[in-house]
Every structure is written in C-alpha cells, then in structure tokens.
C-alpha cells in the first residue's frame, strides 16, 4: 500500500478518504528528524505551510511521487525543484475562496466600524460612553480596490458590490478586460490609480519575487488618509515597516491583517499595538467548510496522481508526461 505523509490534521472527511486508499503517516509535532525520515520513504506528502518542501527536502524524498498543498498558496514548495525531479504539485485553488472572501469583508467592516476600539473600551473599561466618541463609516457607496482578481478577489468583490453596494475597482495586469466589464467593475491600468481611488484596498495576489514588498512607503502615500488596507494574501507582499510608519503617521486610517511578513510573528510586533489594526492569525480559510473543501480537494488530487490520473488542479502540469512513477 502506498504511503502519504501529513504534517497537520486534515478535516475528518478528508482523513477518512485518504486512509481508505493509502497508509497515512501523521507527524504533527514538527519533528524535523522524524519528518525527514518519513520523506525518504513516502509516496506522497500533504504539507502545511509549516513543512517547507525546499530543494533539500525534495532531494531526500527519493520515492516521492506527489506533493499536495491545501489552499491556493504554494510558496512553501520549491516548484522548480519539484518539476526537475518529476514530482507533480497539486493544490486546491477553489477550496478557500468563500471562507477567505468572507474574512476580507469581516476585516473591512471591523476596520470601518472601529470595532477594536469600541470593544476594548466597553469590555475592558466599561466605557459605554465610547459610543459618542468614535464614529464609523458605511460601506455603501465606498470604493473597494482589489489588487489581484482571482477566485477570492472576485468573490470578495461580489459580496461587497451586491451585498453592500460598494463600487469595485480592479488592478490585475493579467486580467482579461472582458471579465471585468461583464461584472461592471472598473479596471485600472496601474496600482497607483487604484490606491488613489479606493476607500479600502484589499490584496489578492501570490507572494513571489516581483510582488515582494509591493505595498511600501510610496504606495501608502498614494492611499487616501481615510483608507484601510486589508491583507489576507501573503505577508511578504507588504513592507511591514512602511505599514507601521503609515499607521503611526496617520497616512492611512488602519488595516485588517490575517498574514504577516514572518509567521508566526514576534509577540512584540508593533502592529499588535494599534487599535486601528485588526489582526487574526492566518486563519481566514480555516472555517469548518473551508477546511473540508481544501482537505478533500488536496486528498483527491494526491490520490489521482498516485492512481495515474491527471488531477484537476496541478501547478506544474508540464511534468505530467515525465512524472516520477
């Protein structure tokens, strides 16, 4: 029976599907020696972002035939080395869509209603009078700028436009113009244009060399002083030092963050000290429903590869005909 390594618990339904078809090796304590020993013998691995599948890990995995990543991000995997070794990388780009899009809206509304500030005043100080000292804003009629227009960006835009009556502006250089016009959204040609127009800027793009620090000092200066930044994508696309400076100086109104440049972040990260910064620990996709979709999706993709069937979602599809068997 083929063996698959898992470094984090899967949704029960996904775990059941996997165990019905392969021997499951579970190592949840990040024991590097144990993980490396398992990698040397398993046929597949379903890895969280904590288990980095870099060149060293891939090269010791002499029997590995497939790598699975739950979710849409796969920056923790060396795709080039994986392809070089003939190992397909499967993922679940449609799995986290709804959960993350809803989280975007939740962060946005918490920012625009100053929920952090009023909740702390009421719960910690019993200050009911805070209601006369803090004033939020309505989402209706405001502009949401989407930087990146993949599945999550599209769904967030749909909720915001149809549900909240917001205007949507999109910047995505890889976008087909027709797909935006169909949804009656405005497409701009530069990030600068989007930043100047938006009341809320939400990031929906992968982390890679060309997107590293995309939101920096100059970009924050382009934003409205009343605008908020929402990031549920990857922490590395934002220059955190520049973000802290922008918040301290009042260059922007605040931020809603689910991801950080370093994860886990340091406990004394200054972003945690601001009332106008809503923070969550990279869990936007971790709803019951999201975990089930991602879990079943990645398990099915891994099983497909092990059974010789090309999976629906494969990052490096060019290796399929030369894959390791």
User: Annotated catalytic sites, by residue?
Assistant: 234, 263, 282
- For residue 272, give Cα distances in angstroms to 116, 267, 314: 11, 8, 37
Is residue 47 within 8 Å of 7, Cβ to Cβ? yes
- Pairwise CA distance, residues 95 & 318, whole Å: 23
Residue with tokens 């099915």: 300
Task: Let me know how many helices (H) and strands (E) the chain has, helices first.
Answer: 13, 12
Q: Are 97 and 71 in contact (CB under 8 A)?
A: no
DSSP 6: E
Q: Token pair for residue 171?
A: 């910047």
Instruction: State the CB neighbour count (10 A cutoff) for residue 20.
Output: 10
Q: Is the dihedral of CA 143, 146, 149, 152 positive or negative?
A: negative
Kindly list the strands in the beta sheet with 89-91, ordered across the sheet, starting from the edge strand earlier in the chain. 23-26, 3-6, 44-46, 66-69, 89-91
Q: How far, in Å, CA of 66 to CA of 90, rounded?
A: 7
């Amino acid at each position: 029976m083929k063996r698959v390594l898992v470094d984090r618990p899967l949704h029960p339904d996904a775990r059941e599907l996997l165990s019905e078809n392969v021997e499951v090796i579970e190592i949840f304590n990040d024991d590097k020696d144990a993980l490396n020993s398992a990698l040397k013998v398993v046929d597949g691995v379903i890895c969280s972002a904590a288990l980095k599948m870099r060149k060293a890990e891939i090269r010791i995995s002499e029997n590995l035939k497939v790598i699975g990543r739950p979710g849409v991000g796969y920056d923790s995997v060396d795709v080039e080395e994986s392809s070089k070794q003939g190992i397909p990388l499967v993922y679940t780009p449609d799995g986290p869509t709804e959960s993350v899009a809803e989280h975007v809206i939740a962060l946005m509304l918490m920012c625009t209603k100053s929920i952090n500030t009023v909740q702390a005043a009421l719960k910690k100080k019993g200050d009911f009078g805070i209601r006369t000292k803090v004033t939020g804003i309505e989402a209706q009629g405001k502009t949401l700028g989407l930087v990146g227009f993949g599945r999550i960006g599209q769904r967030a835009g749909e909720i915001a436009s149809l549900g909240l009556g917001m205007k949507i502006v999109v910047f995505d250089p890889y976008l087909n113009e027709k797909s935006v016009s169909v949804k009656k959204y405005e497409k701009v040609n530069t990030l600068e244009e989007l930043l100047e127009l938006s009341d809320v800027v939400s990031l929906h793009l992968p982390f890679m060399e060309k997107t590293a620090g995309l939101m920096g000092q100059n970009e924050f200066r382009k934003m409205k002083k009343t605008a908020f930044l929402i990031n549920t994508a990857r922490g590395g696309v934002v220059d955190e030092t520049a973000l802290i400076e922008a918040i301290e100086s009042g260059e922007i109104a605040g931020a809603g963050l689910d991801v950080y440049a370093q994860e886990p972040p340091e406990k004394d990260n200054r972003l945690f000290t601001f009332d106008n910064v809503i923070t969550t620990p990279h869990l936007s996709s971790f709803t019951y429903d999201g975990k089930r979709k991602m879990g079943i999706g990645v398990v099915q993709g891994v099983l497909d590869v092990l059974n010789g069937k090309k999976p629906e979602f494969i990052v490096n599809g060019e290796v399929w005909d030369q894959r390791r068997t």
